[in-house]
């Protein structure tokens, strides 16, 4: 009877060790997945900021100075810092890119601990979601206006002239949108982890 | 000795009941606070959508049809559905408003349980943060363009003519921004609650 109880005791102890090892392995797997997502967010925001930041297109456009004179051809350039929405877009993506790199450091500092640092990371991730979605909205609204124009406010489309610049802007917006979805997924993943632990 | 142990037992039992009661009271308080925040988000998004949705301004503007003829005065109207960014803004705020009302129902269904419904509410709140911040970015970018204009793309400012409409749009954007901050706060609050429970 005594030996049986000893056996049961040792078996349950083994189970406890197995469970603990399984938990540690799961946490390690989740940490690796999170690191990969943060590296992805870093690359996406960096590429988005660079694609729009370095894009520049110069075209010759006809400008009518006086109604009685024929139009004259002048060179016009499209650059990101001519439009405040694009300035906000590049700056926001640069901030998110710097944060993605910094959050990797925070993640390693928080590994294996149950400190409040995890909560700080969730709040900052959430802030990045807000920042990136607002800059995507701003850039997309101006981009769409440049692509379609609007007769009600008499803003003519400009993408028929600066097509390459508009394509670069569209690509940058898609990249930034993907990055904001990654940050959103990270917040969701962290909430899921906390929910599982709280059960 | 026996009576002492009985006393200790009964005391610890009282503590347990007190703790449980305190926990229930805290949960009730948190639930009430969350309900108030959701009602606030509902009111803010509803007001934002209505303020921009009903705003309309008609002004007489001078339009030059032919360069040789003098300009003629025509009535021009500013409405939310003339600009796609404002359409997106009104629709997004209407969705967030409907969700804020629906989330109150979800909150009551989830009260006192540890089900996955709480997690679903966090994900949906997060979705509202993304939706509202993107629509705020879009409306603010177009609003700023209407307020300042841009010489590089030759888009003239329109707020010098449609000043009242622009003021309404600015007020709606501020209200919507407050609503998105409320949703952001709700996600933070939920994460904090889960973090406390996981300890």
pLDDT in tens, B130-139: 999 999 999 9
Residues of B in contact with A180 (CB under 8 A): 130
Report d(CA A83, CA A58) in Å as an integer: 16
Whether residues B114 and A199 touch (CB distance < 8 A) is answered with yes
> How many Å lie between the alpha carbon of A52 and the closest alpha carbon of chain B?
17
pLDDT at A17: 65
Selection from B78, B52, B87 nearest residue B176 by Cα: B52
Report d(CA A71, CA A61) in Å as an integer: 9
Report d(CA B124, CA A187) in Å as an integer: 12
Phi/psi at B115 (5° precision): -75, 180
- Contact predicate A152/B83, CB 8 Å: yes
Question: Cβ atoms within 10 A of the Cβ of A180, count?
Answer: 29
Residues of B in contact with A129 (CB under 8 A): 126, 129-130, 133
Whether residues A191 and B195 touch (CB distance < 8 A) is answered with no
A vs B, Cβ pairs < 8 A, gives 145
Confidence bin at A16 (pLDDT 50/70/90): low
Facing A195 at nearest CB: one of B135, B145, B194: B194
Residues of A in contact with B195 (CB under 8 A): 116, 118-119, 194
Residue A185: inside a domain: yes
Q: What is the ipTM of this complex?
A: 0.85
Mutation for B interface: A78, A139, A155, most B CBs within 10 A: A155
Whether residues A139 and B141 touch (CB distance < 8 A) is answered with yes
Residue A188: inside a domain: yes
pLDDT(B12) > 80: no
Whether residues A126 and B130 touch (CB distance < 8 A) is answered with no
CA dihedral A43, A45, A46, A51 (to 10 degrees): 120
pLDDT at A86: 96
Interval B84-93 mean pLDDT: 96
Residue A110: inside a domain: yes
- Angle at B145 (CA atoms; ends A80, B173), nearest 5 degrees: 115
pLDDT(B115) > 80: no
> How many Å lie between the alpha carbon of A10 and the closest alpha carbon of chain B?
28
Report the sign of the C-alpha dihedral through residues B134, B135, B141, B144, in that order: negative
Interval A107-131 mean pLDDT: 86
Whether residues B82 and A153 touch (CB distance < 8 A) is answered with yes
- CA-nearest residue of chain B to A81? B152
**B163: helix, strand or coil:** helix
Residue A2: inside a domain: no
pLDDT(B50) > 80: yes
Give the pair of three-digit tokens for residue B135. 């629509």
Give the range of the structural domain holding residue B80, as residue numbers without chain letter: 2-198
pLDDT at B87: 96
* Cα A6 to Cα A14, A20, A132, distances in angstroms: 12, 21, 59
Residues of B in contact with A67 (CB under 8 A): 67-68
Confidence bin at B198 (pLDDT 50/70/90): confident
Distance of CA A39 to the CA centre of its chain: 11
Give the pair of three-digit tokens for residue B88. 């997106």
The whole-model pTM stands at: 0.85
> How many Å lie between the alpha carbon of A85 and the closest alpha carbon of chain B?
6
Question: Cβ atoms within 10 A of the Cβ of A138, count?
Answer: 29
pLDDT at B25: 75
Residue A23: inside a domain: no
Residue A17: inside a domain: no
* DSSP code of residue A81: G
Residues of A in contact with B114 (CB under 8 A): 198-199
Mutation for A interface: B80, B134, B152, most A CBs within 10 A: B134
Name, in order, each residue with C-beta under 8 angstroms of A75's C-beta and a sequence gap of 6 or more: A58, A59, A60, A61
Residue A4: inside a domain: no
> How many Å lie between the alpha carbon of B152 and the closest alpha carbon of chain A?
7
pLDDT at B106: 87
Whether residues B133 and A138 touch (CB distance < 8 A) is answered with no
- CA-nearest residue of chain B to A69? B67
Selection from A45, A188, A130 nearest residue B131 by Cα: A130
pLDDT(B3) > 50: no
Mean pLDDT, all residues of chain B: 86
Q: What crossing angle do the helices spanning B163-198 and B117-148 adopt, rounded to 10°?
A: 150
> How many Å lie between the alpha carbon of B13 and the closest alpha carbon of chain A?
24
Higher pLDDT, A111 or A33: A33
For residue B155, the cross-strand partners are B150
Facing B188 at nearest CB: one of A123, A133, A192: A123
Selection from A100, A103, A180 nearest residue A139 by Cα: A180
pLDDT(A3) > 60: no
pLDDT(A102) > 90: yes
- CA-nearest residue of chain B to A185? B123
Residue A14: inside a domain: no
Domain count, chain A: 1
């Amino acid at each position: 009877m005594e030996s049986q109880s000893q056996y049961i005791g040792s078996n349950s102890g083994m189970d406890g060790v197995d469970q603990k090892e399984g938990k540690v392995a799961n946490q390690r797997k989740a940490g690796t997945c999170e690191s990969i997502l943060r590296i992805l967010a870093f690359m996406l925001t960096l590429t988005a900021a660079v694609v729009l930041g370095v894009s520049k297109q110069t075209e010759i456009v006809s400008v009518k100075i006086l109604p009685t004179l024929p139009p004259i051809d002048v060179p016009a350039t499209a650059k990101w810092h001519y439009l405040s929405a694009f300035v906000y877009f590049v700056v926001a993506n640069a901030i998110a890119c710097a944060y993605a790199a910094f959050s990797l450091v925070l993640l390693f500092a928080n590994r294996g601990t149950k400190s409040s640092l995890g909560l700080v990371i969730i709040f900052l991730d959430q802030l990045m979601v807000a920042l990136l979605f607002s800059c995507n909205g701003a850039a997309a609204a101006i981009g769409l206006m440049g692509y379609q124009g609007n007769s009600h406010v008499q803003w003519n489309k400009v993408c028929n002239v600066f097509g390459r610049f508009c394509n670069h802007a569209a690509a940058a917006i898609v990249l930034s949108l993907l990055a904001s979805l990654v940050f959103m997924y990270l917040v969701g993943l962290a909430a899921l982890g906390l929910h599982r632990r709280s059960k």
